[in-house]
Amino acid sequence: MFEKLNQLLPFGNYIRNKSLQNFLFLAVIQSSNVLISIISMPLLIQSIGVDQFGLVNLALSVIVLLNILVGFGYNLSAPRVVAVNQNDKEALSHLVSNIFSGKLLLALIASILILVGVFGFNLFQEYQMILVFSALLLFSEASLPLWFFQGMEKMKLISIANIFSKLLFLMGIVLFIHSPEQSQWVNFMMGFFGLGINLLLLGYIHSFLGIRFYRPEFSAIWLSIKSNVLLFFSNLASHISINGGLIILSFFYSGEILGMYSLAERVVMVVRLFPALIIQAVFPNSAKLYKEDLLAFFLFLKRVYKRVLIGGALISSLTFFLAPWIIRVLSRSDLEESILFLQLLAIVPFLACLNVGNITLLLVADLKKLLFRASWMMCVYMILAASILTASFGAVGLCFAIISTEVMVFLICLGLLYQHKRDLLRGFYS
């Protein structure tokens, strides 16, 4: 009976599918990061206050930006190379050694940039020590073996390790962060626990998977860095466009305004993950259909696109109407300006969903150069719009700049596809 049922509903086959497992475990990692972030917000605001919370987030924004340098496109390129060499332990050993060495070297360079900026040029004046202590996060990123486990299609362990690391961070906040003077330890603890768990994972890779660690081959490291330049700049542009608003706001405001905007922005960045996760989910099947049956590809993508727009509209509507309750739960108080910022930014997830079709078309057609151009055109527009509108209208102006950037990137991708791949554009939108 069970055999017949399994033939009719082969759930076991889906569960054993390694691509699906990879996606599910990546979703678990992302979900746990979001959940811990949401739980930690009210704890931190209550412990260190809105002002210091804004500065901690500002320092974290700088670190996340530098983590793009540390990652240098390896998170996109390395899984593919690992997958190709899954059964060659010697090749994997050299590959892993060189990639980790390269990322650690980049983390060291990023740390030196922070130290020179703080102690050499007296930059980041309001949060200098918070930023210096946050530099440990760079080495946590450098030692994170997510790309290795992705390529090996063994995501279960690292997803569990990620959850454990975030729980340790949450416990550290509860046990050790009790006053604004301790704000410099918040990001440090995140980096400390992350680095510790990553080192244990490296020990597992060496002891149980038989991967040896060799001295770095600098010629191989240099070649890999050169090959990842385009990916690095695309990632950098996209990150600045999406997450650079807080840094721009810090040039005009500090303290309470920064904290209240930071709270609203973090909520929006969480719900904005929806279209990104959809693209990751549909990309493998889209790529397969694109090669095998173009008509089936267009029909599939149109169905997905309609559902994504409905889902995005629902998420944006709920965020707008629940904004007062969300801010009250996260901050334990009624921060009227935070509520205003969140309501203004609530439309961002829906606007981001508009571009799901265009981005999928660019990916399946392997139009990396067009994606690169779109990323940097969006980045330049965002910096200009955010600087002008923030200078003129403050944090409210920044909200409108973020909103207009989502509209602009949709139009940019539409225009590039029209110029270079008109048949794809007509097939999808007709």
DSSP-assigned states of every residue in 4-21 = HHHHHS-HHHHHH-HHHH
Integer Cα distance of 123 and 117 in angstroms: 5
The sign of the dihedral angle between the CA atoms of 389, 56, 271, 341 is: negative
Please give the average per-residue pLDDT across 215-228, as a whole number: 85
pLDDT in tens, 100-148: 999 999 999 999 999 999 999 998 888 899 999 999 999 999 999 988 8
3-class SS of residue 60: helix
Least confident of 4-8, 34-38, 61-65, 342-346: 4-8
Residue 113 burial (CB count, 10 A): 15
Q: Write out the DSSP string of 358-401.
A: HHHHHHHTT-HHHHHHHHHHHHHHHHHHHHHHHHHHHHHHHHHH
Integer Cα distance of 395 and 260 in angstroms: 10
Is the per-residue pLDDT at 12 higher than 80?
Answer: no
Integer Cα distance of 58 and 328 in angstroms: 22
Can you read off the two tokens belonging to residue 143? 């030692």
Report whether 197 contacts 145 (CB < 8 A).
Answer: no
Nearest 5°: phi and psi at 393?
Answer: -125, 10
Report whether 59 contacts 258 (CB < 8 A).
Answer: no
To the nearest 10°, report the CA torsion of 157, 158, 159, 164.
90
- Per-chain mean pLDDT for the chain: 85
Please give the average per-residue pLDDT across 173-202, as a whole number: 93
DSSP state of 221: H
Q: In the prediction, which pLDDT does 74 show?
A: 83
Q: In the prediction, which pLDDT does 10 show?
A: 47
H-run or E-run covering 248: helix 245-250
- Spans of all domains in the chain: 11-227, 265-429
Q: In the prediction, which pLDDT does 201 show?
A: 94
Q: Note if the pTM is more than 0.75.
A: no
Please give the average per-residue pLDDT across 179-189, as a whole number: 92
pLDDT in tens, 298-334: 998 998 899 889 999 999 999 999 999 988 887 777 7
The residue among 293 and 385 whose pLDDT is bigger is: 385
3-class SS of residue 298: helix
Is the per-residue pLDDT at 8 higher than 50?
Answer: no
